[in-house]
Structure formats: structure tokens, C-alpha cells
């Protein structure tokens, strides 16, 4: 993978006043210790024990906890099943947050953006409580203050629905045009595109890159360190 020319990256940040981060990927590997397949297996087992075959496993994303939640909601919208499943997912994400691994250079990028005067928010399909637990553990809470926008009780509002981005624009007082989203999935890109928010893809491997490009994301980087000089050349890096 060849990263974009530094000038192209600088142009993106020069046009922005607010940066919206996806959480799992750009900021950390949430399921580094307590893995996503483990969490998905917990959800599937919970469904099987209580509801038998009432909610089938999504064939193309059996290890994706959010896909399981979304499928349950499509079959039983607003049901007690969905509410209990979402609560279980939240508890599993809190457990995973305790062993989440920081994405390399994420903290340096956050500090540089703050020093440069950018507003920042987190827009994620993960639970807000899991995000806040991670930020507290890493000493990053003050950088996001009241701007953590996570999963709502209604799974229909998960990205690619732009609900969490829309909430972030409101709380940061930002327009879509003056914002920039950093995400690592097609759902991130599609949510940003729907609101007209410029998008910067983070693809830590070739599979991620292929998925982003297939969705239509044009500007993608393989690491966050290439963004440090793009934010504002000359600023000291903590």
C-alpha cells in the first residue's frame, strides 16, 4: 500500500476544524485481548440458550458482534431480546476495553490535533461506556470531554447510519464541510458520505484497504504517523 502524497493529507487537515474518530481501529484495537470472535460466540450462545433458532447467525459475519445485534433487531425490532442482547454486548465491550491495545501513534495524533486547535469527537458503534473506560485508562478523557458518541439502544442507528456523526457535529458546533472523519471500515465511509463529511481511511492491512476502496474511499493511510506532519508542520510532537 502506498500512502497519499503529504500535500494531499495536509490539504485535508487544512480544510478541517473538527476531526471525528472511529474508535475500534483508529484509536485502539478494542478486541486485542478479549477478541471479537469470542464476543460473537458469547452472543450466539446466549441467543441459542434462550431463543433457540429464533435468530440465525449471519453467514458472512459470524464473528462480528454488531452484525449479530443488527440481525436480531431486523427480525425482532424493539423487542426485549434486542435490549438484552445489546446490554450483553455492552458488558463484553467493557471487558474488552480493559485489555484494548492503543493504535500506534493515536495518542500522539490526538495531542497534536489538540495543540493545533482542532475540535475532536469519537463516533462509534461501540458502547459509550466502553469508550470512556478506555479513554480514562489511557489519560485521554479531557481531549474528548462531552464528545463521545457511541451506540444508541436502537441498533438501526449503527453506522452506516450517520446518527453518531450527526450528534458529534451538534455537540462540537461543527458543519459537515469543516469536519474530517478518520475511520477504518466501509460503514464509517458510508456514514460520512451521507452527511457530506470528508473521509480519511485508516487501513492497517491489505484486507482493510481493499474493503475501503471497494466502498469508494479514495484517501487511505496505512499508519497514523504519516498524519502527524499533515496536521500542522512544525508543531512539537508529545
In this predicted model, what pLDDT tens digit does every residue of 11-31 receive, in sequence order? 999 999 999 999 999 999 999
Task: Report the chain's mean pLDDT, rounded to a whole number.
Answer: 91
Q: Taking residues 107-115, report their average pLDDT.
A: 96
Distance in angstroms (rounded) separating the CA atoms of residues 41 and 63: 7
**Is the same domain home to 148 and 210?**
yes
Question: Rounded to two decimals, what is the model's pTM?
Answer: 0.92
**Is the same domain home to 167 and 115?**
yes
Using the Cα atoms of residue 166, residue 149, residue 22 and residue 12 in order, give the sign of their dihedral: positive
**Is the same domain home to 57 and 158?**
no
Instruction: Give the pLDDT confidence score for residue 238 in this predicted structure.
Output: 45
**Is the same domain home to 152 and 171?**
yes
Distance in angstroms (rounded) separating the CA atoms of residues 32 and 181: 23
**Is the same domain home to 115 and 225?**
yes
30-43 pLDDT per residue, tens: 999 888 989 988 88
Instruction: Give the pLDDT confidence score for residue 60 in this predicted structure.
Output: 62
Domain termination residue (choose one: 97, 120, 139): 97
Domain termination residue (choose one: 79, 97, 115): 97
Residue 238 included in any domain: no
Q: What is the DSSP string of 28-71?
A: EETTSSS-HHHHHHHHHHHHHHHHTTSSPPPGGGTT-HHHHHHH
Distance in angstroms (rounded) separating the CA atoms of residues 5 and 45: 47
Q: Taking residues 124-134, report their average pLDDT.
A: 98
pLDDT band for position 87 (50/70/90)? very high
Q: Which domain holds residue 221?
A: 6-29+102-231
pLDDT band for position 236 (50/70/90)? very low
- The answer, yes or no, to whether residue 57 has pLDDT greater than 80, is no
Amino acid at each position: 500500500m502506498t500512502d497519499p502524497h503529504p500535500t494531499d493529507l495536509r490539504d485535508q487537515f487544512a480544510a478541517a476544524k473538527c476531526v471525528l474518530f472511529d474508535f475500534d481501529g483508529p484509536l485502539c484495537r478494542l478486541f486485542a485481548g478479549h477478541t471479537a470472535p469470542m464476543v460473537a460466540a458469547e452472543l450466539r450462545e446466549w441467543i441459542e440458550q434462550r431463543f433457540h433458532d429464533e435468530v440465525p447467525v449471519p453467514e458472512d459475519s459470524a464473528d462480528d458482534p454488531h452484525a449479530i445485534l443488527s440481525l436480531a433487531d431486523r427480525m425482532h425490532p424493539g423487542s426485549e431480546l434486542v435490549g438484552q442482547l445489546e446490554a450483553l454486548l455492552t458488558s463484553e465491550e467493557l471487558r474488552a476495553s480493559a485489555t484494548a491495545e492503543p493504535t500506534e501513534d493515536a495518542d500522539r495524533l490526538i495531542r497534536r490535533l489538540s495543540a493545533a486547535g482542532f475540535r475532536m469527537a469519537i463516533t462509534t458503534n461501540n458502547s459509550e461506556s466502553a469508550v470512556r473506560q478506555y479513554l480514562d485508562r489511557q489519560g485521554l478523557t479531557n481531549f474528548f470531554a462531552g464528545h463521545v458518541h457511541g451506540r444508541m439502544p436502537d441498533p438501526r442507528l449503527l453506522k452506516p447510519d450517520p446518527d453518531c456523526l450527526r450528534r458529534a457535529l451538534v455537540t462540537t458546533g461543527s458543519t459537515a464541510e469543516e469536519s474530517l472523519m478518520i475511520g477504518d471500515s466501509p460503514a464509517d465511509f458510508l456514514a460520512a458520505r451521507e452527511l457530506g463529511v470528508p473521509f480519511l481511511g485508516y487501513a492497517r492491512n491489505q484486507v482493510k484497504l481493499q474493503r475501503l476502496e471497494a466502498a469508494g474511499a479514495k484517501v487511505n493511510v496505512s499508519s497514523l504517523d504519516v498524519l502527524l506532519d499533515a496536521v500542522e508542520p512544525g508543531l512539537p510532537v508529545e
